[in-house]
């Protein structure tokens, strides 16, 4: 999207409501810079079953990936980023907060905001991923005008959402599915997660949501298509 007034990073939250019945699912591939030891100890920050399910159901999706995730799972990052079904946006390198407070996330160090974005794109591209789009999702969705101004020269579009799936730390897939089905309107952008660690029931919820939304006449699109209107 074109920059906002004063060179501010533009923010996209949903597609036009009058458009055809389209909906975009987005999945945040979260991994925080200090979670390496937990991954080494066997915790799973990836969710290959979810990606396989999206492929099986032929659901296009946008994955917002942290640089740290791409480094931990380079094969998966490349596989996602070379499959035309998917596109990869930037979810920062470290998944630290860009403004405080933000859900208890550690904060990016002073002056480190642009480097977070650049380093993440570098780590993602380093895996061989090619379908990388100039979109950025703030960790925790936390931002303010100052952050948008500082990020302006990076020429990304910040992508938020209008439907919160509630899949983070959820244990009941039905409740997540219900929240999505209640929230989706034409042009909606849904935020979910691609990490078993913090979102263990997401694949089950998606398996319920997709056939139901299709039954209601919705078509799934990537964020780029939603943005193109």
Residue 69 vs 218, nearer CB to Zn ion: 69
Q: Is 214 exposed, middle or buried (0-12, 13-18, 19+ CB in 10 A)?
A: middle
Q: Which residue from 88, 98, 97 is spatially nearest to 121, judged by alpha carbons?
A: 88
Residue 167 as a binder of Zn ion (CB under 5 A): the answer is: no
Region binding Zn ion by CB under 5 A among candidate stretches 26-34, 80-88, 171-179, 216-224: 26-34
Only segment of 28-36, 80-88, 112-120, 162-170 that touches Zn ion (CB under 5 A):
28-36
Name the residue nearer to Zn ion (CB basis): 91 or 222: 91
Question: Residue 54 or residue 194: which is nearer to Zn ion going by CB?
Answer: 194
Among 141, 183, 173, CA closest to 158: 141
Q: Which region, judged by CB under 5 A, interacts with Zn ion, from 8-16, 30-38, 39-47, 171-179?
A: 30-38
Nearest residue (CB) to Zn ion, 194 versus 213: 194
Q: Tell me the Ramachandran region of residue 187: left when phi exceeds 0, alpha when psi lies from -120 to 50, beta otherwise.
A: left
130-134, long-range: CB within 8 Å, 24+ apart, which pairs? Answer: 130/81, 130/82, 131/81, 131/82, 131/83, 131/84, 131/86, 131/87, 131/88, 132/81, 132/87, 132/88, 132/89, 132/90, 133/62, 133/87, 133/88, 133/89, 133/223, 133/224, 134/90
Binders of Zn ion among residues 123 to 142 (CB under 5 A) are none
**Could you tell me how many residues of this chain bind Zn ion (CB under 5 A)?**
2
> Which of 14, 26, 28, 196: binder of Zn ion (CB under 5 A)?
28
Minimum gap (Å) between residue 191 Cβ and Zn ion: 9
Binding segment (CB under 5 A) for Zn ion, from list 27-35, 82-90, 177-185, 220-228: 27-35
In the structure encoding, which two tokens stand for residue 147, read together?
């952050």
Residues in Cβ contact with 38 at an 8 Å cutoff, skipping those fewer than 6 apart: 45, 197
Query: 15, 26, 29, 30: which one contacts Zn ion (CB under 5 A)?
Result: 30
Residue 23 or 29: the one with the smaller Cβ distance to Zn ion is 29
Cβ proximity to Zn ion, 142 vs 207, nearer residue: 142
**Residues making contact with Zn ion (CB under 5 A):** 28, 30
């Amino acid at each position: 999207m074109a920059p906002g007034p004063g060179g501010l990073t533009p923010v996209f939250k949903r597609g036009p409501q009058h458009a055809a019945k389209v909906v975009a699912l987005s999945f945040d591939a979260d991994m925080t810079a200090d979670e390496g030891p937990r991954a080494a100890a066997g915790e799973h920050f990836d969710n290959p079953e979810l990606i396989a399910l999206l492929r099986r159901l032929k659901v296009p999706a946008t994955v917002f990936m942290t640089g740290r995730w791409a480094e931990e799972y380079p094969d998966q990052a490349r596989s996602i980023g070379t499959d035309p079904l998917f596109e990869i946006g930037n979810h920062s390198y470290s998944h630290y907060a860009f403004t405080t407070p933000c859900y208890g996330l550690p904060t990016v160090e002073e002056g480190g905001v642009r480097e977070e974005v650049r380093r993440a794109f570098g780590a993602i591209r380093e895996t061989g991923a090619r379908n990388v789009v100039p979109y950025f999702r703030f960790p925790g969705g936390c931002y303010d005008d100052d952050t948008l101004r500082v990020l302006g020269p990076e020429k990304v579009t910040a992508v938020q959402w209008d439907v919160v799936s509630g899949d983070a730390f959820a244990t009941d897939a039905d409740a997540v599915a219900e929240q999505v089905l209640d929230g989706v309107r034409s042009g909606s952008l849904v935020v979910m997660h691609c990490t078993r660690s913090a979102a263990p029931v997401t694949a089950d919820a998606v398996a319920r949501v997709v056939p139901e939304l299709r039954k209601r006449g919705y078509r799934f699109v990537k964020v780029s298509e939603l943005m193109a209107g």
